Chains A and B, each alone.
Chain A
Amino acid sequence: MAARRRGRDRARLARLGRWAIIALFTTFLAFPFYWMLITIFKQNSDLYATENNPFLFNASPTIENLRLLVFETGFVRWLGNTALVGVLVVAITLALALPAAYSLARLTGKWGERLGILIFLTYLVPPTLLFIPLSRIVALLGLQDSIWALVVVYPSFTIPFSIWLLMGFFKSIPRELEDAAMVDGLSRFGAFVKLVVPMSTSGILTVVIFTFTLVTQEFVYALTFISPEAHQMLGVGVPTFLILGDVYFWGSLMGGCLIASVPIALVYNLFLDRFIAGFTVGAVK
C-alpha cells in the first residue's frame, strides 16, 4: 500500500517539476516578445508614467506608434532592402551551394570529406574578425554604403551553411536512382539537374528559408558597410535610427522589432525539424 502511494506521489511531483520548468523557461524566453506586443499599442503618456502598472492599458490602446513606424521612419525601406538582399543572396547561394553539396555528397570520396570539414570550419570564422579587412575590400570595390556590398559578402557564410544542409540531404537519396538514369543515357550532370534537383525541393526549400533568416539576422557587416539610413537593413535600422539623440521611440521601436521577428519565426518553426536533422547528421555524423 505504502509503495503504491509513494509511487504515485513521486510521479505527481515529477510532473509538477516538469511543468514548472516548462513554464519558467517559456516565460523567460518569450516574455520580451510579449512585452514588445504590449508596448506597441500603448500611448506615450501611459508608457512613460512610472506610477502606472505597465501590465495594464491605463489609457486606451493606440496604433499611433505603428503609424509612426510605417509612415514616418525608414522602416518600410529597410524592409524592402532586407527582402531584396535576401532574394539575391538566396539565388547566389543556391547557384553555388547546390552543385558543391552534390559534388561533396557523391563524387569526391575521401577528399570530399576533407573539403566538407574545411567548409564547415569556415563557418567558425566570425564576422567580427573579418569585418575590418572586408570594409576595405568593400570600399575598394566601390560598394561602400550600398546593399550590393551585402549581396556580395553574405554568401560567404550562407554558402558553407547551405552546403552542409544539402550534403546531408543528398546523401539520403540512394545512388541507384542516378545510376539508373545514367544507364538510361543521362550524363552525371544531367542526372543531377533533371533528377536529383527536382527530387530535393524540400531540401532546397529548407535552404531558402534558412539562408533568408541568416540574412535578416546579420548585423555586423550591415552596420560596418552601410551608413546612410535609406540603404540600411532591418536588423541595423531598427535599433539605430529609431533613436533621436537620446530619445528612444520605444513604442515604434518595439513595433519594428516584433514585425521583423515574428513572421520569420513562424516560417522558421515550420522547417525546424529539417534543420535539426541536417545539423545532427552533419555535425555528429
Chain B
Amino acid sequence: MAVTRRARSSGFGLGIAMILPAVLYVLLLVGVPFGMAFFYAFSDARIGSGGDHFVGFDNFASILDSPSFRTALKNSFIFTIASQLLVLVGSTALALALKDKFRGRGLVRFLIMLPWVAPISLGAIAWKWILDSIYSVINWVLIAVHLVKPFDKPMWLGTPKLAMISVIVVHTWRLLPFSTVIILAGLTALPRDIPEAAAVDGAGFWRTLFEITLPMLRPILNVAMLFGIVFTFTDMIVVYVMTAGGPYDSTQVLPSLAFFTGIQGSDLAAGAAISIFLVPLLVIVAYFMLRVAHRAEVT
C-alpha cells in the first residue's frame, strides 16, 4: 500500500516537472504577449517611445471611425467565408475522387500538397507573377482563346473586385490540400460496410453521399473548417505579398491593417487595438473546437 502511494505521488510530481518547462515557455511567449496586446490597445504605445499611458477607449474609438478599419473588418469576413466555402466543396470532391487507389496516386498526392507545404509567402509571390498586370499567363491564355480582348485584359491585382477574387482564390489554393488530406483520412476511417448497406438499401450515389457519408464525416469536417477559418481570418501574408492591401484598401484585412498601422506606421497601440478584433472570432472557434472534442469523447 505504502509503496504504491509513494509511487503514485512521486509520479505526479515527476509529471508536473516534466511538463512545467514547456508550459512555462509557451505561457510566457503566448500568454504574456496576449495580455500585453490588450494593454497596448488601451495605451498610447509607439515604436521607440518609452512611456505608455492609459488612454481608455480612445484607440478603439478612432479605429472604429476609420473607413480603412471598417473595410478591413468587412473584407476579413468576406475572404474567410468565401474561401472556406470553396475549400469545403472542393476538398470534399477531391477527397472523394482520391479515396480509391489508382496508379499515380502517390504522385498526385505530392502535387496537391505543394501549396500547403511551400511557404505561403513564396506561393503568393508566384501567384503575383501569374496574375501580373502585363505578363500574366492567365491573361495570355484568355486572349489566345479570344475570351478577352488584348487592350481589355483584366487587371487581376489592380482592380478592387478582381483583386478580392484573386486573394480569395489564393487562400483557397493554399487551404485545399490541408482540408483534402483531413477529409481523406476521415473517409478512409469510415467503416466499409455502411456505404454497402446503403447500396443494398437502394441508395444511389448522391443520396449515400449527402445522407450517409457527409453526415458521418461531420466531426472531421468541422475540425478542418474551424482550422481553415482561423488560418484565413488571421492571415496577413497573402494580402501583404500580393496587394499590400490595395488597391485603395479593397483587399485590406484586419491582420494586414494591424501590421501596416502598428509596425510600418509605428503606432503600436492602434495596431494592437486592431488585432484585438481577431479575438472574438478565436474565442468562438475555440468554443466550437472544444464542443467537437467533447462530443467525440462521449461517443
Interface residues of A (CB under 8 A from B): 14, 18, 21-22, 25-26, 28-33, 35-36, 39, 47-48, 50, 53-55, 95-97, 99-100, 102-104, 106-108, 112, 115, 117, 119-122, 124-137, 152-153, 155-157, 159-160, 163, 188-189, 192, 213, 216-220, 223-224, 234-236, 238-239, 248, 250, 253-254, 256-257, 260-262, 264-266, 268-269, 272, 276-277, 279-280, 283-285
Contact = CB atoms under 8 A, between A and B. Distances in A.
Given A25-B90, A132-B272, 9 more contacts: A39-B129, A96-B22, A120-B289, A121-B289, A126-B278, A130-B37, A135-B263, A159-B25, A279-B182
A284 B220 contact: yes
Interface in B10-54: 10-12, 14-16, 18-19, 21-23, 25-26, 29-34, 36-37, 39-40, 45, 47
B98 interface: yes
A235 B118 CA distance: 9
B222 to A, nearest CB: 9
Contact of B21 (A39, A100, A269): A100
Interface string B215-254: 0000110010000001000111100110000000000001
Given A239-B122, A276-B185, A29 B173 contact: yes
Contact of B262 (A132, A189, A262): A132
A257 B118 contact: yes
A208 to B, nearest CB: 15
A21 B137 contact: no
B119 A217 contact: yes
**B interface, size bucket:** 35 or more
A38 to B, nearest CB: 9
Nearest to A233: B119
Given A99-B21, A236-B121, A125 B34 contact: yes
A280 B11 contact: no
A188 B14 contact: yes
B37 A219 contact: no
A254 B279 contact: no
Interface stretch (B57-65, B67-75, B105-113, B157-165): B105-113
A45 B275 CA distance: 44
B135 A47 contact: yes
B147 interface: no
Nearest to A257: B122
Contact of B237 (A100, A112, A120, A220): A220
Nearest to B123: A32
Contact of A129 (B10, B37, B237): B37
B258 A128 contact: yes
Contact of A50 (B135, B240, B293): B135
27 contacts: A21-B93, A22-B94, A32-B126, A32-B127, A39-B129, A99-B21, A100-B19, A108-B19, A115-B19, A119-B22, A119-B23, A124-B285, A124-B289, A126-B282, A128-B234, A129-B34, A129-B275, A130-B33, A130-B34, A132-B263, A224-B259, A224-B263, A238-B121, A261-B122, A262-B114, A266-B110, A276-B181
A249 to B, nearest CB: 11
A153 B177 contact: no
B26 A124 contact: no
Given A97-B22, A117-B293, A279-B182, A33 B118 contact: yes
B126 A36 contact: yes
Contacts of A261: 114, 117-119, 122-123
B88 interface: no
Contact of B137 (A54, A100, A107, A256): A54
A272 B113 contact: yes
B292 interface: yes
Nearest to B134: A50
A156 B268 CA distance: 22
Given A126-B234, A133-B40, A160-B26, A257 B94 contact: no
Interface string B85-107: 00000100110011000000000
B15 to A, nearest CB: 3
B113 to A, nearest CB: 6
Contacts of B210: none
Contact of B121 (A127, A239, A283): A239
A133 B118 contact: no
A265 B117 contact: yes
A211 B135 CA distance: 37
A26 B19 contact: no
Nearest to A243: B125
Contacts of A47: 135
Contacts of A119: 22-23, 26
B195 interface: no
A106 B16 CA distance: 11
Residue in A30, A219, A235 whose Cβ sees the most chain B Cβ within 10 Å: A219
A189 B184 CA distance: 38
Contacts of A264: 117-119
Given A129-B275, A219-B120, A219-B237, A29 B30 contact: no
